[in-house]
Amino acid sequence: MLHVLLLTLAVLTPPAEPSDLPLEHAWSVSLEAWQTGQGIVSVHAVSDLLLVEDSGHRVTAFDRATGESRWLVALGQALAQVPGFAMGHITLTTREHVTVVSEASGERLYEQRLSTEMAAAPIAGESLVFEPTHFEGTLFAYGLKSGVLSWRYRIKSGFAGQAVYIPSSKESRVVIPGTDGWLRAIPATLKVPVKLLWSLDVGLPVGASVTQGDTLFMSTRRNTMVAVDCVSGAYRWTSSLGEMPLGGPVPVGELLLVGTEEDLLALRASDGQVAWRTGDRELPLAAVPGLVICQLASGRIVGRRTADGSRVDVPAGSRVLSTGPFLVDWSDGRRLSVARSTH
């Protein structure tokens, strides 16, 4: 395959892991291009894949469980937004283009030059590509196959975060946070939207939101964490954090981890109740069953056991992410190292 011809794969021997950590080495990989000046720029977890962007403006997809390289897409420019994902479609956005590829094969399904600056990451649903723009707070919808503009919808504010696509047998929708603190659900159909499906005043988001099924979890500038039913537009729960959150929630099992200006809290995803707290300013970076990786105000990286919040030393850097039971580290910019939770 093309990526096999372009890149040389080398599996590296992992360092020994401390025995008290609920982690075991899964795989490591270094590509020749990463060693010759075209290091890793960003890594993103999308479904069962890890998307690795290098400084040569290429995105390589790896199987998160095995490290097998699946496909490679050359973009020509750096990613300007985090990749969007819905319905098996991955949306890759640079300053000038939106490209939609197949999750399974990397085949280009849609590519279009941008006519205006994106305000948030575009996302591709079943038949439309949705682009939130800075142009008068307008959401543009283009045909996935045709590339033709289907409709545009102007909201009452700008966009303050990534679009979330919620499929439904009745009426699929795109949910987008606004700069006025409102969440809005727009019909994701070929027909021109006449009105919103619902809107909810939740507050400005802090960091990225997280979805589990039809529920969206978000940290807000109102010092709260909220859980919203994306079908009905109603709160499932709201929880006061006490202080301003440092970022969005990091999910692990039945918990949501969030750092504030004075604390690290573990909230139950079911009802928003606090399971434990540390009393220290820490930003959770990634979490797998049994362990959460946090960054202290000093920059030091530490681990917390998800069972009770107790601290443990971890051999990880600050460039980490989690995807299911796998912890991914690319701190040296030249190698992707993946560990599996044994919890």
CATH code, domain carrying 182: 2.40.128.630
Q: How confident is the model at residue 47 (pLDDT cuts 50, 70, 90)?
A: very high
pLDDT at 233: 96
Q: What is the pTM of this model?
A: 0.91
pLDDT at 254: 95
Q: Measuring CA to CA, which residue among 284, 287, 248 is closest to residue 23?
A: 287
pLDDT at 20: 76
284 occurs within a structural domain: no
Q: Measuring CA to CA, which residue among 293, 221, 214 is closest to residue 257?
A: 293
pLDDT at 181: 96
241 occurs within a structural domain: no
What share of the chain in percent tops pLDDT 70? 94
Q: Report the pLDDT averaged over residues 203-222.
A: 96
Task: Return d(Cα 250, Cα 230) in angstroms, integer.
Answer: 19
168 occurs within a structural domain: yes
Backbone angles phi, psi at 265, to 5 degrees: -120, 145
Task: Return d(Cα 328, Cα 72) in angstroms, integer.
Answer: 19
Range of the domain at 118: 86-202
Residue 259 CB burial class (10 angstroms; 0-12, 13-18, ≥19) = buried
pLDDT at 15: 44
31-45, 51-65, 244-258, 298-312: which has the minimum mean pLDDT? 31-45
pLDDT at 5: 32
pLDDT at 282: 95
Q: How confident is the model at residue 63 (pLDDT cuts 50, 70, 90)?
A: very high
164 occurs within a structural domain: yes
pLDDT at 128: 96
pLDDT at 329: 97
pLDDT tens, 279-328? 999 999 999 999 999 999 999 999 999 999 999 999 889 999 999 999 99
pLDDT at 13: 38
Q: Which residue has the higher pLDDT, 219 or 169?
A: 219
47 occurs within a structural domain: no
Q: How confident is the model at residue 32 (pLDDT cuts 50, 70, 90)?
A: confident
Judge contact between 58 and 77, C-beta under 8 A. Answer: no
SS3 readout for the chain: CHHHHHCCEECCCCCCCCCCCCEEEEEEEEEHHHHCCCCEEEEEEECCEEEEEECCCEEEEEECCCCCEEEEEECCCCCCCCCEEECCEEEEECCCEEEEEECCCCCEEEEEECCCCECCCCEECCCEEEEEECCCCEEEEEECCCCCEEEEEECCCCECCCCEEECCCCCCEEEEEECCCEEEEEECCCCCCCCCCEEEECCCECCCCEEECCEEEEEECCCEEEEEECCCCCEEEEEECCCCECCCCEEECCEEEEEECCCEEEEECCCCCEEEECCCCEEEEEEECCEEEEEECCCCEEEEECCCCCEECCCCCCCEEEECCEEEECCCCCCEEEEEECC
Exposure class string for 43-74: b at 16+ Cβ within 10 A, else e: bbbbeebbbbbbebbbbbbbebbebebbbbbe
173 occurs within a structural domain: yes
214 occurs within a structural domain: no
The number of domains in the chain is 1
pLDDT at 229: 96
pLDDT tens, 116-171? 999 999 999 999 999 999 999 999 999 999 999 999 999 889 999 888 999 987 88
pLDDT above 90 for 258: yes
